[in-house]
Amino acid sequence: MITHDKGVRMSVRTRSANRLSTKIALLTIPILLTTACAGGGTAPAGAAGATKIGFAQGNFGNGWYEVNAKGATDEAKKLGHDLEVVSGGGDPVTQNSQLSNFITKGVAGLIINPTDPQALSSNFSRLKDEKIP
């Protein structure tokens, strides 16, 4: 067991999984923004032609998550697209609901920092079926 900087005890496995999630998110955000925005032109954010992209953050409450969401929002805006950021609050049930809402809204792309990847697998299948990157 390792004690996290906020006094929370974490196993080495959990800490390693968190690091992997962080690395995946950092690598995935620019790729998904580019993929989702590729056909959208350079319309100003909020304009009728702006591409809508979702960002399902696993949780807030840690400065890294907020900086991550702000960076993604700023980059999407620079590219002329709308990015809607939601937090699952660390709850896979909440995050599944948020993913379903994004799919229903017909977002052009979705950035996901999963609370529990296995718990979200049904929505991952839906995203694949809907061809939402």
Predicted local distance difference test score (pLDDT) of residue 49 = 67
- Global confidence as pTM: 0.64
Count CA atoms within 13 Å of residue 92 on its CB side.
11
- Spell out the per-residue pLDDT of the chain, length 133, in tens: 444 444 555 455 555 555 555 555 555 555 555 555 554 444 444 445 679 999 999 998 878 888 889 999 999 999 999 999 999 999 999 999 999 999 999 999 999 999 899 999 999 999 999 999 9
Residue bearing tokens 């995935």 = 28
Which residue type sits at 48? A
